[in-house]
Amino acid sequence: MKTLHVMKLDLLPRAVLAAVLTCAMPAWAQQPAPGAPDNAPFDAEQLFASTCGWCHSDGGRAAGKGPQLMGTSKSDDFIRERIKNGKPGAMPAFDGALSDAQIDAIVKYIRSLKPQQG
């Protein structure tokens, strides 16, 4: 009698532990992989860095070969036209190289620029 009683006490925690593990495991294993966000600011930042960054420094926050874009007083239309048509002798034209959607994303990105913290 005494032995049976001890075994029951011993079995309960194991059963609970097993149940917790089987429930917890899938949730942990099924975490979605990070990356591939369809979030425009992130894509535009990458695009800007690789396409514009060698002339518009620090992601557009500082002047380089080209002027600082952060805080520009120019209109969205002006920026769109400038990206599409460039400026002879100063900036290449990106019409054809970039889609309208990409250009819109870059305009949004420029508008969202803030001084870098730290």
Residues in contact with ligand HEC by the rule CB under 6 A: 51-52, 54-56, 65-67, 69, 72, 74, 79, 82-83, 87, 90-92, 94, 106
CB 40 within 8 A of CB 107: no
Write down the residue that tokens 């194991």 correspond to.
14
Cβ distance to ligand HEC smaller for residue 24 or 100:
100
Place of tokens 């099924």: 30
Distance (Å, whole) CA 15 – CA 22: 11
- Min dist CB 102 to ligand HEC, Å, is 8
Q: How far is the CB of 37 from ligand HEC (least distance, A)?
A: 21
- Of the pair 19, 97, the CB lying nearest ligand HEC is at 97
Cα angle: 34, vertex 47, 40; to 5 degrees: 55
